[in-house]
Amino acid sequence: MSQKALVRDLLQDPAWQEKDVGFPLPDSSHACVVSLPTWESVIGYEENDAAIVAKMRSGYPRFFIHPITARYLKGLEERFAGDRERVMAYSSEEAARRAASYVSSQAGVTGRFISEDSSLLVVPEAGYSAARDYWRHTGEIISSRQAEDLMDGRKVDHSLLAGHRDAMAKVLGVESRNSFLFESGMAAIFTLFRIVTERRPGLKTLQLCFPYVDALKVQEQFGSGVDFINDATGEALDHALSEIREGSYAAVFCEVPSNPLLHTVDLAVVGEACREGGVPLLVDDTVCSHYNIDTLAHADASSTSLTKWVSGVGDVLAGSIRIRNDSPFADELRQALDREVPGGSRLYSRDGEALVRNAANFCERVTECNRNGLRVANFLTEQPEVRKVWYPAFVDCEAYEALRRPDGGYGGLISFTLKEPDKTAGLYEAMQFCKGPSLGTDYTLLCPYTLLAHYREMSWAHSCGVSAELLRISVGREPEEELLERLERAFAGIR
Identify the CATH number of the domain in which residue 86 sits.
3.30.70
Task: Indicate whether 179 and 286 sit together in one domain.
Answer: yes
For residue 179, the surrounding DSSP H or E stretch is strand 179-182
pLDDT, one tens digit per residue, over 403-459 is: 999 999 999 999 999 999 999 999 999 999 999 889 999 999 999 999 999 999 999
Residues 207 and 86 occupy one common structural domain: no
Report whether pLDDT(20) > 50: no
pLDDT at 23 over 70: no
Of 343, 360, 377, the position where a domain reaches its end is 360
Per-residue pLDDT tens digits for 326-350:
999 999 999 999 999 999 999 999 9
Q: Are 398 and 438 contacting, i.e. CB atoms less than 8 angstroms apart? A: no
- pLDDT score, position 56: 76
Same domain assignment for residues 238 and 384: no
Which of 27-41, 71-85, 113-127, 213-227 shows the lowest mean pLDDT across its residues? 27-41
Average pLDDT value for residue range 189-197: 98
Q: What residues make up the domain containing 279?
A: 158-360
Q: Are residues 303 and 176 in the same domain?
A: yes
Last residue of a domain, one of 327, 360, 393: 360
Confidence of residue 18 (pLDDT cuts 50, 70, 90): very low
pLDDT tens digits, one per residue of 125-159: 999 999 999 999 999 999 999 999 999 999 888 88
Indicate the pairing of strand 179-182 with strand 319-323.
antiparallel
Asked if residue 469 and residue 441 are part of one domain, the reply reads yes
**Packed helices 128-138 and 213-221: angle between N→C axes, nearest 10 degrees:** 120
- Report field, pTM of the whole predicted structure over 0.75: yes
Assess contact for 184 and 192: CB atoms under 8 A. no
**Who wins on pLDDT, 473 or 9?**
473
Report how many domains make up the chain. 3
Residue 242 lies in a domain: yes
Is 59 within the bounds of a domain? no
How does residue 26 score in pLDDT terms, banded at 50, 70 and 90?
A: low
- One DSSP character per residue, 256-288 reads SS-TTT-----HHHHHHHHHHHT--EEEE-TTT
